[in-house]
Amino acid sequence: MIVQVLALTVCLYSNDNLLNAICKVESNCEESAVGDSGNAIGPYQIWYVYWKDAIDYRPSIGGSYSDCVNKEYSEQIIKAYWDRYANENRLGRKVTDEDRARIHNGGPNGWKKKSTIKYWNKVKSFIHDRNSQHH
Protein backbone atom coordinates (compact mmCIF):
# COMPACT_ATOMS: atom_id res chain seq x y z
CA MET A 1 0.00 0.00 0.00
CA ILE A 2 2.75 2.48 0.93
CA VAL A 3 4.65 1.72 -2.27
CA GLN A 4 1.54 2.44 -4.36
CA VAL A 5 0.96 5.76 -2.63
CA LEU A 6 4.58 6.81 -3.15
CA ALA A 7 4.44 5.86 -6.82
CA LEU A 8 1.28 7.91 -7.27
CA THR A 9 2.88 10.90 -5.56
CA VAL A 10 5.92 10.74 -7.85
CA CYS A 11 3.64 10.54 -10.87
CA LEU A 12 1.48 13.50 -9.79
CA TYR A 13 4.41 15.78 -9.06
CA SER A 14 6.77 14.87 -11.89
CA ASN A 15 6.46 18.38 -13.36
CA ASP A 16 8.02 20.14 -10.35
CA ASN A 17 11.51 20.44 -11.89
CA LEU A 18 9.99 21.74 -15.11
CA LEU A 19 7.77 24.25 -13.30
CA ASN A 20 10.70 25.48 -11.20
CA ALA A 21 12.83 25.92 -14.31
CA ILE A 22 10.07 27.81 -16.15
CA CYS A 23 9.59 30.02 -13.10
CA LYS A 24 13.32 30.85 -13.04
CA VAL A 25 13.44 31.60 -16.78
CA GLU A 26 10.27 33.69 -16.78
CA SER A 27 10.86 35.96 -13.79
CA ASN A 28 13.43 34.47 -11.42
CA CYS A 29 10.24 33.46 -9.55
CA GLU A 30 9.27 37.04 -8.73
CA GLU A 31 5.55 37.19 -7.94
CA SER A 32 5.46 40.93 -8.65
CA ALA A 33 6.96 40.56 -12.13
CA VAL A 34 5.19 42.24 -15.05
CA GLY A 35 6.49 41.67 -18.58
CA ASP A 36 5.69 41.71 -22.27
CA SER A 37 4.64 45.39 -22.18
CA GLY A 38 2.29 44.74 -19.26
CA ASN A 39 0.62 41.70 -20.84
CA ALA A 40 2.22 39.04 -18.62
CA ILE A 41 2.05 38.87 -14.84
CA GLY A 42 3.44 36.86 -11.97
CA PRO A 43 6.27 34.39 -11.55
CA TYR A 44 5.24 32.44 -14.67
CA GLN A 45 4.47 35.52 -16.79
CA ILE A 46 0.94 34.41 -17.65
CA TRP A 47 -1.08 36.34 -20.22
CA TYR A 48 -4.83 36.92 -19.84
CA VAL A 49 -5.68 34.70 -22.85
CA TYR A 50 -3.60 31.86 -21.35
CA TRP A 51 -5.41 32.22 -18.02
CA LYS A 52 -8.80 32.33 -19.79
CA ASP A 53 -8.00 29.15 -21.77
CA ALA A 54 -7.08 27.35 -18.55
CA ILE A 55 -10.14 28.59 -16.64
CA ASP A 56 -12.47 27.71 -19.53
CA TYR A 57 -11.00 24.20 -19.48
CA ARG A 58 -11.03 23.80 -15.69
CA PRO A 59 -13.53 26.28 -14.17
CA SER A 60 -13.17 24.67 -10.73
CA ILE A 61 -9.87 26.57 -10.29
CA GLY A 62 -11.83 29.80 -9.89
CA GLY A 63 -10.15 33.06 -9.03
CA SER A 64 -9.37 35.95 -11.31
CA TYR A 65 -6.56 36.82 -13.69
CA SER A 66 -4.90 39.00 -11.06
CA ASP A 67 -4.40 35.86 -8.94
CA CYS A 68 -1.67 34.82 -11.40
CA VAL A 69 0.77 36.80 -9.27
CA ASN A 70 0.55 33.89 -6.82
CA LYS A 71 2.95 31.04 -7.64
CA GLU A 72 0.72 28.20 -6.44
CA TYR A 73 -2.35 29.59 -8.22
CA SER A 74 -0.33 30.03 -11.42
CA GLU A 75 0.81 26.41 -11.23
CA GLN A 76 -2.84 25.29 -11.20
CA ILE A 77 -3.43 27.45 -14.28
CA ILE A 78 -0.38 26.02 -16.05
CA LYS A 79 -1.37 22.43 -15.30
CA ALA A 80 -4.89 23.04 -16.65
CA TYR A 81 -3.40 24.67 -19.76
CA TRP A 82 -1.07 21.71 -20.24
CA ASP A 83 -3.93 19.26 -19.73
CA ARG A 84 -5.83 21.11 -22.43
CA TYR A 85 -3.04 21.55 -24.98
CA ALA A 86 -0.05 19.36 -24.05
CA ASN A 87 -1.72 15.99 -24.33
CA GLU A 88 -1.18 12.84 -26.33
CA ASN A 89 -4.36 13.27 -28.38
CA ARG A 90 -3.29 16.69 -29.69
CA LEU A 91 0.37 15.85 -30.25
CA GLY A 92 -0.16 12.33 -31.57
CA ARG A 93 2.60 10.98 -29.31
CA LYS A 94 3.82 10.98 -25.72
CA VAL A 95 4.19 14.51 -24.32
CA THR A 96 7.65 15.66 -23.19
CA ASP A 97 8.89 18.43 -20.91
CA GLU A 98 10.07 20.17 -24.05
CA ASP A 99 6.50 20.14 -25.42
CA ARG A 100 5.12 21.53 -22.16
CA ALA A 101 7.71 24.31 -21.93
CA ARG A 102 7.30 25.32 -25.56
CA ILE A 103 3.48 25.33 -25.24
CA HIS A 104 3.80 27.49 -22.12
CA ASN A 105 5.92 29.93 -24.08
CA GLY A 106 4.30 29.80 -27.52
CA GLY A 107 0.67 28.92 -26.94
CA PRO A 108 -1.29 25.82 -27.96
CA ASN A 109 0.94 25.13 -30.97
CA GLY A 110 4.16 26.34 -29.35
CA TRP A 111 5.56 22.82 -29.48
CA LYS A 112 5.81 23.22 -33.29
CA LYS A 113 7.15 26.79 -33.44
CA LYS A 114 10.82 27.38 -34.17
CA SER A 115 10.59 30.55 -32.08
CA THR A 116 10.18 28.49 -28.87
CA ILE A 117 13.33 26.39 -29.27
CA LYS A 118 15.58 29.03 -27.69
CA TYR A 119 13.16 29.27 -24.75
CA TRP A 120 13.24 25.48 -24.28
CA ASN A 121 17.05 25.54 -24.27
CA LYS A 122 17.00 28.08 -21.41
CA VAL A 123 14.49 26.00 -19.45
CA LYS A 124 16.45 22.82 -20.11
CA SER A 125 19.65 24.40 -18.78
CA PHE A 126 17.88 25.23 -15.49
CA ILE A 127 16.58 21.65 -15.23
CA HIS A 128 20.07 20.33 -15.94
CA ASP A 129 21.69 22.66 -13.40
CA ARG A 130 19.15 21.70 -10.75
CA ASN A 131 19.58 17.96 -11.43
CA SER A 132 23.37 18.20 -11.33
CA GLN A 133 23.19 19.91 -7.91
CA HIS A 134 21.30 16.90 -6.52
CA HIS A 135 23.67 14.23 -7.84
Domain interval for residue 117: 13-133
pLDDT of residue 128: 77
pLDDT at 129: 72
The reported pLDDT for the residue numbered 130 is: 62
**Helix pair angle (16-27, 97-106), 10° resolution:** 30
Instruction: Give CB contacts under 8 A, 24+ apart, made by 26-32.
Output: 29/71, 31/69, 31/70, 31/71, 32/69
Residue 86 lies in a domain: yes
- The answer to whether residue 2 sits within a structural domain is no
Please check whether residue 100 lies inside any domain of the structure: yes
Strand-pair category, 34-35 with 40-41 = antiparallel
Show which residues are catalytic.
26, 36
Residue 37 domain flag = yes
Residues of the chain falling short of pLDDT 50? 1-13, 135
Return the CATH number at 102: 1.10.530.10
Give a yes or no: residue 65 inside a domain: yes
Asked, for residue 95, whether it belongs to a domain, the answer is yes
Instruction: Give the residues across from 41 on adjacent strands.
Output: 34, 46
Establish if 18 belongs to a structural domain: yes
